[in-house]
Amino acid sequence: MTTVNELLSRSPGKLWTIAPTDSVFKALQAMANGQVGAVIVVEKGRLVGIFTERDNARKVELSGKAARTTPVSDVMTTDVVTVGPEAEIGSCMTLMASKRIHHLPVIDRSQIVGVVDFGDLVNRLIADLSAKSAAR
């Protein structure tokens, strides 16, 4: 089965990061610019959180907070679930479903090397199944 490392090498994208002191508005701008649903929150080169569209909806909008003045650190998810580059996409999908999350930062030797989202995994799984089916 395809690993996260193989998936990232086939479609390398820019890793969108933000500092915990940056505003939610800046995080939303980064997400819009990158056309992504989450940004990784990094401090001194270390992952300290993740900020997602869900965080914005539930912790900013529904709470009546102002995106321009609220720091990401106030609303980010700090208990971040991560995987290593050798994780297989099937196990990642299972993990994401059980944790009810859509984004998995990929960590290799303490370095953030990418992020995979549920859509990436589903698309790869479909491609793998199609290739197997065509080979029969």
| 25-51 residues labelled b (16+ CB within 10 A) or e (exposed) | ebbbebbeeeebbbbbbbeeeebbbbb
| Domain housing 12 | 4-135
Tokens of 95: 């993990």
What is the C-alpha to C-alpha distance for residues 38 and 52, in angstroms, rounded to an integer? 4
Type of residue at 64: G
Q: What is the CATH number of the domain that holds 80?
A: 3.10.580.10
Q: What is the pLDDT of residues 68-118, one digit of tens each?
A: 999 999 999 999 999 999 999 999 999 999 999 999 999 999 899 999 999
Say what the pLDDT of residue 106 is: 96
Say what the pLDDT of residue 11 is: 73
| 84-119 residues labelled b (16+ CB within 10 A) or e (exposed) | ebebbbeebbeebeeeebbbbbbbeeeebbbbbbbe
Say what the pLDDT of residue 12 is: 66
For the chain, what is the domain count? 1
What is the Cα 23 distance to its own chain's centre? 19
Average pLDDT over residues 56-61: 96
Q: In this model, does residue 21 exceed pLDDT 90?
A: yes
Q: What is the pLDDT of residues 5-14, one digit of tens each?
A: 998 988 767 7
